[in-house]
């Protein structure tokens, strides 16, 4: 219910904004978009069968940047939330994202900046995993997880479309505020210390001796590429690709985070988007049922991927 209410809030605030182009005031530039997407299918006395479906999603992208002869400061806020319902099922969450990026640079040469980067990621609402019978397992929540990166390095900007941030010193923190998830060792945290006791009837019970820490700290190197360009009329392609190596544990195992989005402008208020997100995190263990027999038989890092094709309304801030 919380995610549905938050989605309604996103839909309502779009009425507060008129359509504008990117606004520049002196060294400042600001702008953004609000997007709304939805689909609905309904069946009534339909001989061939079928289930009613409805899905709603909203997203906000806002930026404010400052640039002069010697410094550059870029700020980007990304918010996504979606929910869907099929048949008589409860509403289930789809997209869920809150992310803030800022990077500040002091000019070193025509195309290079001494830079500091800050990135924060989390989600708005609780997340669940569903089995084939519809049973749910609680797996995530707001600030569980949350990720923070703070890096120092050089930012290469040969043109307005491309940049490469190179940092030999980047701290990364993983926060899991939910103690139960932290104790289970989710999202790369060390699990709680437990002890198993056997009762007289032969049954076992597991008792937590020492609770897990809710914080994991890493120190490593970060390489981050960003690219955005109108590749043809009314078609924009944007991507962010990150590589991170943790100096403190298995530095040879590189974490990868790659997002891309292709936007096709239909008119001033409608567009279509194809977007994808690939993640490989060597510290995040994924449960796998390799032979689909209902039993988890593999556990380890896996490549994660999601994609979406949407058509909807877009407002330019």
> pLDDT digit string (tens) for 268-279?
899 999 999 999
From 172, 66, 175, 174, select the one nearest 118 (Cα to Cα): 172
Question: For residue 204, what pLDDT is reported?
Answer: 82
Sign of CA dihedral 266, 316, 79, 300: positive
Q: Rounded to whole angstroms, how far apart are CA atoms 52 and 39?
A: 11
Q: Rounded to whole angstroms, how far apart are CA atoms 250 and 150?
A: 20
**Per the domain annotation, does 92 fall within a domain?**
yes
**Per the domain annotation, does 194 fall within a domain?**
no
Instruction: State whether residue 11 is helix, strand or coil.
Output: helix
Q: Rounded to whole angstroms, how far apart are CA atoms 313 and 51?
A: 26
**Per the domain annotation, does 223 fall within a domain?**
yes
pLDDT bracket for residue 89 (50, 70, 90): confident
Q: Rounded to whole angstroms, how far apart are CA atoms 212 and 39?
A: 42
**Per the domain annotation, does 117 fall within a domain?**
yes
pLDDT bracket for residue 210 (50, 70, 90): very high
pLDDT at 205 over 90: no
Question: For residue 229, what pLDDT is reported?
Answer: 95
Q: The whole model's pTM is what?
A: 0.86
Question: For residue 288, what pLDDT is reported?
Answer: 72
pLDDT in tens, 290-299: 677 666 767 7
Average pLDDT in the chain: 89
pLDDT at 116 over 70: yes
Question: For residue 54, what pLDDT is reported?
Answer: 92
Tally of structural domains, the chain: 1
167: exposed, middle or buried (Cβ count in 10 Å: 0-12, 13-18, 19+): buried
Q: Rounded to whole angstroms, how far apart are CA atoms 186 and 181?
A: 6
Give the mean model confidence (pLDDT) for residues 285-310: 79
**Per the domain annotation, does 191 fall within a domain?**
no
Question: For residue 44, what pLDDT is reported?
Answer: 83
Q: What is the maximal distance between C-alpha atoms in the chain?
A: 78
**Bridge partner list, 73:** 66, 104
**Bridge partner list, 114:** 106, 154
pLDDT at 93 over 70: yes
**Per the domain annotation, does 184 fall within a domain?**
no
**Per the domain annotation, does 187 fall within a domain?**
no
From 163, 271, 312, select the one nearest 223 (Cα to Cα): 163
The answer for 160, left when phi > 0, alpha when psi is -120 to 50, beta otherwise, is: alpha
pLDDT in tens, 25-54: 689 999 999 999 988 888 888 887 888 999
Give the mean model confidence (pLDDT) for residues 306-312: 91
Sign of CA dihedral 279, 30, 37, 91: positive
The set of residues, in sequence order, having a beta carbon less than 8 Å from that of 248 and lying 6+ positions away, is: 218, 219, 220
Specify the CATH number for the domain of residue 75: 2.40.230
Q: Are 190 and 218 in contact (CB under 8 A)?
A: no
Question: For residue 19, what pLDDT is reported?
Answer: 37
Q: Are 20 and 32 in contact (CB under 8 A)?
A: no
Omega of the bond leading into 145 within 30 degrees of 0 (cis)? yes
Give the mean model confidence (pLDDT) for residues 80-99: 93
Question: For residue 22, what pLDDT is reported?
Answer: 57
Give the mean model confidence (pLDDT) for residues 85-101: 92
State the residue range of the domain holding 163. 2-15+25-177+214-316
**Per the domain annotation, does 235 fall within a domain?**
yes
Give the mean model confidence (pLDDT) for residues 137-157: 97
Question: For residue 10, what pLDDT is reported?
Answer: 47
């Amino acid at each position: 219910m919380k995610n549905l209410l938050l989605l309604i809030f996103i839909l309502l605030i779009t009425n507060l904004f008129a359509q504008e182009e990117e606004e520049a005031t002196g060294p400042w530039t600001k702008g953004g978009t609000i997007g709304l997407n939805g689909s609905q299918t309904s069946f009534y006395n339909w001989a061939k069968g079928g289930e009613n479906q409805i899905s709603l999603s909203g997203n906000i992208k806002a930026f404010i940047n400052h640039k002069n002869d010697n410094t550059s400061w870029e700020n980007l806020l990304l918010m996504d939330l979606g929910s869907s319902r099929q048949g008589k099922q409860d509403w289930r969450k789809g997209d869920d994202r809150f992310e803030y990026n800022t990077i500040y640079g002091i000019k070193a040469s025509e195309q290079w900046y001494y830079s500091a980067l800050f990135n924060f990621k989390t989600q708005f609402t609780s997340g669940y995993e569903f089995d084939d019978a519809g049973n749910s397992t609680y797996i995530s929540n707001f600030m569980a997880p949350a990720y923070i990166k703070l890096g120092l390095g050089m930012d290469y900007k040969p043109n307005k479309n491309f940049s490469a941030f190179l940092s030999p010193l980047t701290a990364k923190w993983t926060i899991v505020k939910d103690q139960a998830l932290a104790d289970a060792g989710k999202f790369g945290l060390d699990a709680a210390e437990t002890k198993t006791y056997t009762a007289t009837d032969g049954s076992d019970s597991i008792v937590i001796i020492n609770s897990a820490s809710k914080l994991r700290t890493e120190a490593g190197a970060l390489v981050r590429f960003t690219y955005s360009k109108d590749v043809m009329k009314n078609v924009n392609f944007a991507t962010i690709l990150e590589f991170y190596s943790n100096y403190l544990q298995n530095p040879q195992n590189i974490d990868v985070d790659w997002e891309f989005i292709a936007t096709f402008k239909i008119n001033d208020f409608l567009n279509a988007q194809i977007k994808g997100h690939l993640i490989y995190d060597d510290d995040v263990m994924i449960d796998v049922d390799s032979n689909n027999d209902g039993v988890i038989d593999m556990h380890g890092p896996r490549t994660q991927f999601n994609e979406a094709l949407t058509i909807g309304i877009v407002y330019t801030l």
